[in-house]
Homo-oligomer: A and B are copies of this chain.
Amino acid sequence: MSMTKKKVIQIGVVSELTGLSERQIRYYEDRKLIFPERSKGGVRKYSFEDIQTIMEIHTKLMDGFHTVELKRMLAGS
């Protein structure tokens, strides 16, 4: 597996890199737009690809799309 797909980054770092709040990041998961892994203790782990997706999601939301629509859009990638 390429490094871009390795789920090794915790939410705090993702928040820093994307500039988004942890609340937003967790919400996108709730909406089935991203699928982080979990440590044994339940801590979320994201990949660099996830970070890319998260930023795309945010951009689309700013454009007026809803999460349900984004789910379809992301399905084709």
Contacts and interface: CB of A to CB of B under 8 A. Distances in A.
Interface stretch (A8-16, A56-64, A66-74): A8-16
A3 interface: yes
A26 interface: no
Interface in A1-44: 3-4, 6, 8-10, 12-13, 17, 39
A9 B12 contact: no
Interface of A: 3-4, 6, 8-10, 12-13, 17, 39, 45, 48
10 contacts: A3-B3, A3-B4, A3-B48, A6-B48, A8-B9, A8-B13, A8-B17, A10-B10, A12-B39, A13-B45
